[in-house]
Chains A and B, each alone.
Chain A
Amino acid sequence: MSQYETLKTLEGVLESFLDRIVMLKQDRIDVLEGINNLDDIAQSSSDGFEVADRIGEWFAGHNRWLSKNILKTSDIEGISHLLSNIQTRLDITEESSPAEKKILSEIERWNRSKKTSQTVHTPAREQSHKIVLKRKAEQPPEKQEKSIALFDKTLRRCLSMLGRSSINKKHLLSALDDSLRTASIQKNKDALLLSAFTIYYLKQNGYKVEPYVKRLKETERLLKGDKPNA
């Protein structure tokens, strides 16, 4: 067997080993990804950004965790801790929207499940108290100011993200590479927007951006749930 063939065989063995690890740990990786996303939301919240929509989407995506017995006690504690951080930042009053109040009730539900897991270790908890989170109906922009405010918040989040992704980077292209990765791996819309802004900025300054445009389009398709091109 030639050196090349030996290396190709070894490559196959190592890739297969790592694939099997991922398969074995699939549930765990999903949980870690969810906790990591929640951690990002908590970070944004502590940075002073509006997170009601993002936390609503997070609950909608991860509600099944409470009905299925896939979380460890330490996971529930970690999630409750992050939710408590977010809760302290949420400004929920009597005049808050039903969606925002629902978020509060969801946070309380997670906290109750934490207490339950500490006393009774049964998988079927909270079966009788099911809350379905739905995004509020899309409404035409009543006030132009609201859309401007939302855009302003998005820009601020992007700016904060740029600050984090440019640590130890020597060029904007490296920060762009990082934000495209974040958008792709974490399916993060803010990172996608930041990437698009950066690409357009670089284009205006004479950089060749075609490979990044291609990656941006692939990531956009990924976020929409389309299959990536082969």
Chain B
Amino acid sequence: MLNPSEKAYCLALLALKHKDYRIASDHFNKAASGFKADKEFNLYRKTTQLLLAVKQEIAVLEMKKEDKLEIEEILPNG
């Protein structure tokens, strides 16, 4: 039977296919112990992690934008 790392790598690729990057990253992390020396695996894993970090930063900036908008709306009437 497949070992847990192989299974997790497979599920990570499937999650990438569905653009579910958070789940893909979780599965890449689970698979990491079995594929430490695999350059391809490390590239996919790091790219997914970087993408999640970028998305996180974008979300923070968008939240700040929304906060600013609220202030602008309140001030004219306040």
Contacts and interface: CB of A to CB of B under 8 A. Distances in A.
Interface of A: 3-4, 7-8, 10-11, 14-15, 17-18, 21-22, 25, 29, 32-33, 35-36, 39, 42-43, 46, 78, 81-82, 85, 181, 184-186
Given A7-B54, A18-B16, A21-B44, A35 B10 contact: yes
Interface SS majority for chain A:
helix
Nearest to B51: A14
- Give the interface size bracket for B toward A: 20 to 34
B1 A82 contact: yes
Contacts of A185: 11, 14-15, 18, 20, 23
Contact of A18 (B9, B14, B44, B54): B44
Given A15-B51, A18-B47, A32 B13 contact: yes
Contacts of A82: 1
B44 A29 contact: no
Contacts of B47: 14, 17-18
A32 B17 CA distance: 12
A196 to B, nearest CB: 21
Given A32-B10, A39-B7, A22 B2 contact: no
A43 B15 CA distance: 22
Nearest to B21: A18
B16 A21 contact: yes
Contacts of A81: 1
Given A11-B51, A39-B7, A33 B61 contact: no
A39 B1 contact: yes
Given A4-B65, A14-B47, A18-B21, 12 more contacts: A8-B58, A11-B51, A14-B50, A14-B54, A25-B13, A29-B13, A32-B10, A46-B1, A81-B1, A181-B20, A185-B15, A186-B14
A29 B17 contact: yes
A10 B58 CA distance: 10
Given A18-B44, A185-B15, A4 B51 contact: no
A33 B10 contact: yes
Given A36-B2, A185-B11, A4 B61 contact: yes
Contacts of B57: 7
B51 A18 contact: yes
Interface in B1-53: 1-2, 7, 9-11, 13-21, 23, 44, 47-48, 50-51
A35 B2 contact: yes
B61 A42 contact: no
A43 B1 contact: yes
A10 B47 CA distance: 11
